[in-house]
Amino acid sequence: MSDSVSVAAEQGELAGRALDDGGSVFAGIPFAEAPVGRLRLRPPRPPRPWQGVRDATAFRASPAQNPDPWSPPDAVYDEDCLEVNVWTPDVHGRRPVMVWIYGGAFESGSAVPPGTDGQWLMRGGDVVVVGFNYRVGALGFLDLTGIGGESWSGSVNLGLQDQVAALRWVRRNIGRFGGDPDNISVFGGSAGASSVGCLLAMPAARGLFRRAILMSPPVARIYAPATARRLAADLLDTVGVHRPEQLLDIPVEDILAAQAKIVPADMGARALPGGRSWGPVLDGAVLPRTPMQAAEAGDTAAVPLLIGANRDEMLAAEAFMQPGTTPPNAGALYDEIAGAVGEAAARGLLNAYRAAEPDATPTRQRLRFLGDRLYRVPAARMAEAHTRAGGTAHRYLFAADLPVVGPSHGMEVALVFGNHDSDDNPLAPLYRQWPDSAALGRQMMTAWSAFAHTGDPGWAPHTPGTADVRVFGAPGPVAEPPAATAASWRLAAHPATVPESAG
């Protein structure tokens, strides 16, 4: 049995677990009170201290959510989930800290292994790795400020408020685990990267971290208050209650069932004009500006960025498309894209996609557009705005042609964490088929951890108008967006929030 390791945290003493290959882990540490009962759908409250020694050797629950096909079969879900996990090479010392924020479209995800297991990155990067849970779905992003009266004025962007509470805990406590509280980097993928972007724009998060890494950031998928409040009203109606306080007595399973009924499954229907889903709301208080607005205003300039996306973000989804979510013909595809970016941009983009893949179906072209619209272009625009306002941004593109999935959404995460070859990773057989996986993983882990140590991942920071994007898994550097589509994306409409209608 592994030896116990002790740390005296702010709330009390913890008994962690030494890992067989070096370092130790402290799991299931509360950073806020459990958001249950009267605290459901309320902002996080500071954690209570405990008496004696708290067992921190075992991981606990993931946030309450509707499991997806990738969820571990033995996963445990609970509203009592606001906990942090720490992997450290040594509780003594002062190492850089890397705080991971998981993705999952803001309605799923977990800081519990195997999805988040920081031990390989901890050892390979000589860093302290932290993962924490935040509330997702309706429990984390229901906006009750417009329908609940003054007593519900703080109940918006609860998932983002959880993240700030977790970072405050890290800032106050991580020195006790061998981390440097003055050298904290936040990093996240997909919805986690969008979260990082929101943290950059949130006054409450200012000063809680030094550097930021955004991996495939859908930072343009921010919802207007009117959209969010209609979604909240629909949830109450679907559950069968009239007032927010009645939600406190509803079984969580009923809320989860209702939240799945009132948002579309298709990503385009969530993020293109008229779309809605669970996620950040531009409420004016918790989130007063979008990440892009904050970058353009210079609010993010003091925080160095490492930012990028994957070449074929959405293409792997083609094999899993549901009936009715694909355009019936080229005309319908053009109408959808034109409604999102304008006719001039739509013509140029479709011409470029057709030239690159003459035999591509409308479905494949749509997925190419969605991948660019949601991830690649926002990453490029965020880096450009941040740099022009005086900040530093190192840019990358993941382009490794992995078997079956290629360089699709999220495929770089396991390489950064170093668990791509772990038996707990369901995609390990695919990574093992690609002969360069081990070397590529070392490259990415080295770059990410070097950025956390010094702010320099190993290549020059971005200079506007240059092809300086570091490519992982293919020759580079390159320009982003690619030259074939760059002019069209410059013509495209880029609204601050997801438009409420195509008109």
Instruction: Give residue-wise pLDDT tens across range 474-488.
Output: 999 999 999 999 999
Q: Within 13 A of 440's CA, how many CA atoms are on the CB side? A: 26
pLDDT at site 503: 42
pLDDT at site 359: 93
pLDDT class for 249, splitting at 50, 70, 90? Answer: very high
**Alpha carbon separation from 410 to 110, 113, 311, 321, 416 (Å, rounded):** 14, 16, 11, 18, 11
Strands 83-88 and 128-132: antiparallel
Q: The tokens of 472 are what? A: 């992982």
Q: How many residues are present in the chain? A: 503
**Alpha carbon separation from 43 to 33, 83, 140, 157 (Å, rounded):** 10, 15, 9, 9
**Would you call 409 a catalytic residue per the annotation?**
yes
pLDDT at site 1: 37
Q: Of residues 394, 409, 420, 462, which has the active-site annotation?
A: 409
| 295 exposure class (CB count in 10 Å sphere: 0-12, 13-18, 19+) | buried
Give me the mean pLDDT over the 65-90 stretch: 92
- Residues 376-419: tens digit of each pLDDT: 999 999 999 999 999 999 999 999 999 999 999 999 999 999 99
DSSP per-residue string spanning 46-85: PPPP-SSEEE-SS--PEES----TTS-TT--EES---EEE
Give me the mean pLDDT over the 456-467 stretch: 95
Residue pair 450/381 in contact by the 8 Å Cβ criterion: no
Query: Whose structure tokens read 């690159």?
Result: 356
Distance CA 283, CA 290 (A): 10
Give me the mean pLDDT over the 53-71 stretch: 92
- Residues 256-286: tens digit of each pLDDT: 999 999 999 899 999 999 999 999 999 999 9
Distance CA 246, CA 249 (A): 6
- Residues 159-193: tens digit of each pLDDT: 999 999 999 999 999 999 999 999 999 999 999 99
Q: How far is CA 397 from the centre of its chain?
A: 17
Helix runs in 202-280, H state only? 225-239, 252-261, 267-271
Among the listed ranges 49-53, 111-115, 122-126, 170-174, which one has the minimum average pLDDT value? 111-115
Give me the mean pLDDT over the 106-110 stretch: 96
Q: What is the dihedral of CA 169, 170, 176, 179, to 10 degrees?
A: -170
Q: Which domains does the chain have, with CATH numbers?
A: 10-491 (3.40.50.1820)
pLDDT at site 502: 47
Q: Which residues contact 357 (CB under 8 A, 6 or more apart)?
A: 364, 365, 368
Strand (E) or helix (H) holding 292: helix 291-296
Residue pair 194/217 in contact by the 8 Å Cβ criterion: yes
Distance CA 90, CA 341 (A): 51
pLDDT at site 426: 87
**Would you call 151 a catalytic residue per the annotation?**
no
pLDDT at site 333: 95
pLDDT at site 60: 95
Alpha-carbon Rg of the chain, whole angstroms? 22
- Residues 135-152: tens digit of each pLDDT: 999 999 999 998 988 999
Partners of 306 in the β-ladder:
213, 394
Q: Which residues contact 69 (CB under 8 A, 6 or more apart)?
A: none
Residue pair 276/223 in contact by the 8 Å Cβ criterion: yes
pLDDT class for 229, splitting at 50, 70, 90? Answer: very high
Q: Residue 18 is which amino acid?
A: A
Is the pLDDT assigned to residue 298 strictly greater than 90?
A: yes
Q: Of residues 313, 336, 384, 480, which has the active-site annotation?
A: 313
Q: Which residues contact 74 (CB under 8 A, 6 or more apart)?
A: none
Q: Is the dihedral of CA 465, 470, 472, 475 positive or negative?
A: positive
Give me the mean pLDDT over the 60-78 stretch: 89
Q: Of residues 62, 155, 185, 190, which has the active-site annotation?
A: 190
3-class DSSP state for residue 346? Answer: helix
3-class DSSP state for residue 247? Answer: helix
Residue pair 451/211 in contact by the 8 Å Cβ criterion: yes
Is the pLDDT assigned to residue 2 strictly greater than 80?
A: no
Distance CA 67, CA 136 (A): 12
Q: Which residues contact 40 (CB under 8 A, 6 or more apart)?
A: 79, 139, 247, 248
pLDDT class for 319, splitting at 50, 70, 90? Answer: low
Query: Whose structure tokens read 């540490």?
Result: 29
Distance CA 257, CA 252 (A): 9
**Would you call 412 a catalytic residue per the annotation?**
no
pLDDT at site 481: 95
